Structure 1
């Protein structure tokens, strides 16, 4: 359980001053920070307000309590206790989008609320429900943490308080427990780590798994590779180091992972009836992670590994979101029937048994945007997009000014990550056309393959006959030579 929370003093103080200058009576948003897995401390880097929803309305507002309304209409509104109302679904969606833009060592660790003491005390239940929805939308995969932070910035009286909110299924007002909150220098003490990770994953497609969607199988591949990456050894700045010690030095530290060959590769043989194809998942991932200087190296390596896997999940989610948008536009714009729409399903939603031809899918590439105190956050650019989309994402999701100079944006991933599906033999032996099998079930293709096999047999017979003639002629020559001598 987190007992002490340390916030970045310089940045959080400016946020408090900015909120005090606005006439708003309430504001809800996300807490960006990190949790120390080796202690009972948490760190807060930034507070990001939840933007206006699609209707242009704020995510939180003040209403009269339902209890007072039920007591009778004779009671005046001045005696009614006000409570906070929060658009919990919109806050959760904001958390989901922001979590994609965070790198290793940075997480959505909770929710903050700007309100007076009375509003906060009267709205405990709705605040706990909001924290639970945010935690479900932006899970932390690297560690098991069944709590999130709830930071209250009170303007009457002016003070900061922090509480732990339990994520149990039965949320009540007693789910909150107090913890110490203090200001300090957090961002300046972070250690910076960078990893350029190349991967090439070959995943067999079994006949019993063809009922899954393309995106579902890719999700399984990422989860399987995460288990393999957890056990990988690492080099930091080209050296083997003790992961239980601290690593304090200036600059960005280069990390390289060493994954044992065939560590999780099955050596079992499969028949042609069991394996129907293969997925080739390859590319390059650039990862950044920020770790507190008092943390051991093992924490930084865990953050890097978690960031690599989270980046793959985020790219897959972005592709699926784009596919859902395409389906919505087709259904709304053309008015086609369900059967017609299903024939135009994007690749991520297709089942593998519907993929009759070779399929290739390009993942978004990752770019890095300057954030606070020399740190970076990230965003994902589709192959058809430009860096202009970063401006809207930075302003709307992170409430920050987008960089006007594009040279400040890092683009280390020159080529996008690709995923291709193919038949097993086409991928295994691509240079021998006779061994390529067709995925079509047409009878005409079957007849063509039979005729090709007959030609192959006749050519093999002629080769064998030529070899026999050559051997026989050599034997006759040797015998004549022996007789003459």
Structure 2
């Protein structure tokens, strides 16, 4: 349970000045940081205000005339002291969901902050807890059963900061909001950086109808990523050429290079099936550039876990981006070798693959790194048709940050987009690059039999030729030896 929270003094003082100078009565936003349950500590990197919703209305406001019925007869109380906070919880949760995609390993949306007068804050504990719960559900921590989030209150009457640990549960109780020690100090300037380039390849079977619950492109890839996450969890790590031990501490604030060593064939296939049930393959391969930051007193094993989580979260975020754009105009490209087999689908993520007999290929968004605070970066994802200008606009809207005008400051660490290809099973195992159309699994079986027979005849011919050459060589040798 979080008992102490350390916030970066530079960023939190800037946030306080911004709020005081704004003149607004209230504001809600996200806390970007980290919670370490082993250390019982929380870390706050920055506060990011939630932007106005699609209607241009602020995410948080103060009710105009809500008053406590028990205090109707009291005089001398101002309306502000009786008012409650009105928060667009769904909009704050959506903001958290999108921001969580932009955070690298070791960084999370760890809660919300509220700028409000003391009396309004105390009177609105229920809606505040519900908002924190919505954020926790929209931006969960990777493979963590942690049910804690932070709630920071910045009061201007009186002026002070307070922090509470929110215990998530089915409903709010008297112990759901617990005060915790809150301090400010140097944080961001002393975070060691760990970087990893991770190469991967997934070969995911496409089953006949009713042979598997996964039929759409999204379902198949989700299952594949989940299986890969289990494999990645057991990977060993090498940092700067040295194998990492569990309680090893970092002694340097410089950048470190990480290599992950996957266990060799540790787990079997996720589904046992017969050959007749498979009609195709989804082949997903590429390289992910991962990065993570180590907070004070954390062992190196923690940042390795953060990198593994960042890799899987990045894969899932890219899939979500494609699915989010499925209702719009998402580009789908095919190999130019056979233009007649092009699949025109406005919803490629919802494509029913076992019904398709055509080869298709599309590109996952590629990750780029954007300078954020101090030497810390955040990330964004570029679709093939997008530019850095769209990255700058997205960062400005979601993170309320000043993006460098020089686009060279944005690091394009993944130069090639990760290809995702769905094609015939028989094309895949033969290594045939030319797309073919198969009308049934039976027809594919016949095709493979003919190919096998042709290869067998070719092999027999090679054997006969080799034997003839050998016999001829022996005869020539005997003739030479018998000559005087």
TM-score range normalised by the length of the shorter chain: 0.7 to 0.9
Question: Counterpart in 1 of 2:244?
Answer: 241
Q: Is the 8 A contact 1:117 1:154 kept in 2?
A: yes
Question: Counterpart in 2 of 1:440?
Answer: 439
Aligned 1:16-35 pairs, distance under 5 A: 16-35=16-35
When residues 446 and 196 of structure 1 are mapped into structure 2, their CA distance, relative to the original with a 3 A threshold, is closer
Aligned residues: 461
For residues 69 and 395 of structure 1, the distance between their equivalents in structure 2, rounded to whole angstroms, comes to 43
Q: Does 1:275 align with 2:275?
A: no
Question: Counterpart in 1 of 2:390?
Answer: 389
- Note the C-alpha offset of 1:413: 0.5
When residues 211 and 239 of structure 1 are mapped into structure 2, their CA distance, relative to the original with a 3 A threshold, is closer
After the TM superposition, which of the residue ranges 288-297 and 51-60 deviates more from structure 2? 288-297
- Note the C-alpha offset of 1:216: 1.4
Question: Counterpart in 2 of 1:332?
Answer: none
Q: Does 1:86 align with 2:87?
A: yes
Aligned 1:66-145 pairs, distance under 5 A: 68=68, 81-145=82-146
Taking only aligned residues, the RMSD between alpha carbons, in angstroms, comes to 3.7
- Note the C-alpha offset of 1:442: 11
For residues 266 and 351 of structure 2, the distance between their equivalents in structure 1, rounded to whole angstroms, comes to 31
Question: Counterpart in 1 of 2:297?
Answer: 294
For residues 241 and 370 of structure 2, the distance between their equivalents in structure 1, rounded to whole angstroms, comes to 27
Q: Is the 8 A contact 2:190 2:253 kept in 1?
A: no
Question: Counterpart in 2 of 1:2?
Answer: 2
Question: Counterpart in 1 of 2:53?
Answer: 53
For residues 130 and 462 of structure 1, the distance between their equivalents in structure 2, rounded to whole angstroms, comes to 70
Question: Counterpart in 1 of 2:194?
Answer: 193
When residues 211 and 68 of structure 1 are mapped into structure 2, their CA distance, relative to the original with a 3 A threshold, is same
When residues 151 and 446 of structure 1 are mapped into structure 2, their CA distance, relative to the original with a 3 A threshold, is closer
When residues 72 and 187 of structure 1 are mapped into structure 2, their CA distance, relative to the original with a 3 A threshold, is closer
Q: Is the 8 A contact 2:234 2:263 kept in 1?
A: no
Q: Is the 8 A contact 1:211 1:352 kept in 2?
A: no
**Unpaired runs of 5+ in structure 1?**
328-342
Question: Counterpart in 2 of 1:340?
Answer: none
- Alpha-carbon deviations, 1:114-166, whole Å to 9, x = none? 00111001111110110011111101014221111000000000000011112
- Note the C-alpha offset of 1:409: 1.0
Question: Counterpart in 1 of 2:333?
Answer: none
For residues 462 and 122 of structure 1, the distance between their equivalents in structure 2, rounded to whole angstroms, comes to 84
For residues 357 and 39 of structure 2, the distance between their equivalents in structure 1, rounded to whole angstroms, comes to 53
When residues 159 and 439 of structure 1 are mapped into structure 2, their CA distance, relative to the original with a 3 A threshold, is same
Q: Is the 8 A contact 1:128 1:171 kept in 2?
A: yes
- Note the C-alpha offset of 1:391: 1.6
When residues 268 and 308 of structure 1 are mapped into structure 2, their CA distance, relative to the original with a 3 A threshold, is closer
Question: Counterpart in 1 of 2:339?
Answer: none
TM-score (norm 1): 0.85
